[in-house]
Amino acid sequence: MTRLSAKPVRERPLLRAFMRFPIYLYRARLGWLMGNRFLMLNHTGRKSGLPRYVVLEVVAHDEASGTYYVVSGWGKKADWYRNVLKTPSVTVQVKNRRFDALAETLPEEEGVERLWSYAQKYPAAFRELVRVMLGERLSPDRETCQKLAAVVPVVALRPR
């Protein structure tokens, strides 16, 4: 059972402004302040067809292929996730570097592996993600990664 807030972020103006602040950093060419742990995803709105932006935490990065892995912390109902399902062609910005990419939802088993590597690198952040998504305080182990991967899609952003 996921424990997502009943009221969407767009209906809570202060939280929305706080969540969108990093977008302004990237637009002001200050993306380097966010480091390698975050990226800005430029995607297309599924209904409007307009450009949309979201800053996401990087779960893993495969340096050989240049692929970045992110999770939909708000689950399968997140607007950015539903947008990339419809239009997987996206632009990614890490620090001040931009590249075109293809967004692809990973199979659950591969998502577990990516979450496991994240849990090992950032156990405190992983525990917080689990608390928000599952409503429980669980240790960062493989079993928890499996529970989380069932409700949180892991998305690969593969350079084109």
Q: Is residue 102 part of a domain?
A: yes
Query: Which pLDDT value is given to residue 10?
Result: 55
Per-residue pLDDT of the chain (160 residues; tens, 9 = 90+): 444 444 555 556 776 667 777 887 887 787 888 878 899 999 999 999 999 999 998 999 999 999 999 998 788 889 999 999 999 999 999 998 999 999 999 999 999 999 999 999 999 888 888 888 888 888 888 999 998 999 889 999 999 9
CA-CA-CA-CA torsion sign (37, 55, 60, 3): positive
Question: Based on the structure, what is the number of domains in the chain?
Answer: 1
Q: Is residue 116 part of a domain?
A: no
Measured at the CA of 67, the angle between CA 62 and CA 73, to 5 degrees, comes to 100
Q: Is residue 51 part of a domain?
A: yes
Query: Which pLDDT value is given to residue 11?
Result: 59
Residue 158: strand pairing partners = 102
Q: Which CATH number fits the domain that encloses residue 69?
A: 2.30.110.10
Q: Is residue 87 part of a domain?
A: yes
Both structure tokens of 79 = 């607007």
Q: Is residue 84 part of a domain?
A: yes
Q: Is residue 138 part of a domain?
A: no
One-letter amino acid at 152 equals: V
For residue 130, what is the DSSP state? H
Residue 135, CA atoms < 13 Å, CB-side half-sphere: 6
Is 21 in contact with 9 (CB distance < 8 Å)?
no
Structural domain range at position 20: 9-110+154-159
Residue located via tokens 């380097």? 32
Q: Is residue 118 part of a domain?
A: no
Query: Which pLDDT value is given to residue 4?
Result: 47
What pTM value is reported for the model?
Answer: 0.84
Q: Is residue 1 part of a domain?
A: no
